[in-house]
């Protein structure tokens, strides 16, 4: 799964990197981004067909959901079932997005009571683009509308496997157009993109346990933990 990540790049930086148009949202720097927070995504605007940067709630709420609580179990979607699972299949067809990230975190279980967090980045330090889906939800009772997203996960690569049994799908820039629907693609072609990212193009290092508390959100959280 992917339950925490770093989203600290400025909106202006993201707009340049992902070549978005239109106004940019006022986003808070997040070094410990967590479900239910408003976080940046890149989507293809339904009205214009152009890329735009938006701030959506992390934790997808299907259009048919009775209330927002379902989002707590929908912050990830599995690549193996995303095209057929009722919660995600409609969004997979036409509401795909990119989720910008500077890093993501996973925890390695050391014993029954201890987990060691790791920070994963792209070699060279460039931002990542997770494969995501987005959705509109209108409260059955009326008066509330929420736009939300989920991050798609896949099997781990050789770097992630010793730490965790899942990792977010990271898309190459060459595949962004296809994923966003800017060029035609079949369901099979889209699902073929949902593969583990090459391990040799990533790096990982241990960080301190403070990342485990969502209330902690500062640049010091990503400092490399130096072993004695």
Annotated catalytic residue within 2, 97, 135, 160: 2
- Tell me whether residue 200 is one of the annotated catalytic residues: no
| CA-wise closest residue to 134 among 3, 221, 219, 45 | 45
| CA-wise closest residue to 29 among 226, 221, 212 | 221
Say if strands 167-168 and 38-44 run parallel, antiparallel, or are unpaired: unpaired
Alpha carbons 47 and 104: distance in angstroms, whole number: 32
Alpha carbons 180 and 42: distance in angstroms, whole number: 9
The torsion region of residue 143 among left (phi > 0), alpha (psi -120 to 50) and beta comes to left
Place of tokens 């781990």: 156
The answer to whether 101 and 127 have CB atoms below 8 angstroms apart is yes
Q: List CB contacts of 216: < 8 A, sequence separation 6 or more.
A: 32, 210
- Tell me whether residue 97 is one of the annotated catalytic residues: no
Annotated catalytic residue within 13, 47, 80, 106: 106
Residues that are catalytic:
2, 106
């Amino acid at each position: 799964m992917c339950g925490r990540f770093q989203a600290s790049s400025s909106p202006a930086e993201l707009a340049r990197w992902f070549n978005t148009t239109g106004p940019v949202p006022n986003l808070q720097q997040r070094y410990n981004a967590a479900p239910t927070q408003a976080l940046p995504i890149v989507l293809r605007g339904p009205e214009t067909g152009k890329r735009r940067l938006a701030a959506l709630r992390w934790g997808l709420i299907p259009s048919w959901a009775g209330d927002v609580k379902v989002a707590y179990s929908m912050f990830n979607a599995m690549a193996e079932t995303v095209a057929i699972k009722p919660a995600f299949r409609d969004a997979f067809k036409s509401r795909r997005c990119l989720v910008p990230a500077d890093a993501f975190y996973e925890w390695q279980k050391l014993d029954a009571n201890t987990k060691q967090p790791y920070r994963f980045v792209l070699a060279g330090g460039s931002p990542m683009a997770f494969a995501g889906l987005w959705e509109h939800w209108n409260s059955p009772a009326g008066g509330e509308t929420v736009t939300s997203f989920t991050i798609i996960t896949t099997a781990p690569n050789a770097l992630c496997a010793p730490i965790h049994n899942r990792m977010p799908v990271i898309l190459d820039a060459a595949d962004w157009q296809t994923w966003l629907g800017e060029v035609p693609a079949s369901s099979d072609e889209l699902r073929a993109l949902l593969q583990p990212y090459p391990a040799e193009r990533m790096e990982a290092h241990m960080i301190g346990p403070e990342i485990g508390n969502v209330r902690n959100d500062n640049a010091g959280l990503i400092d490399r933990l130096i072993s004695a």
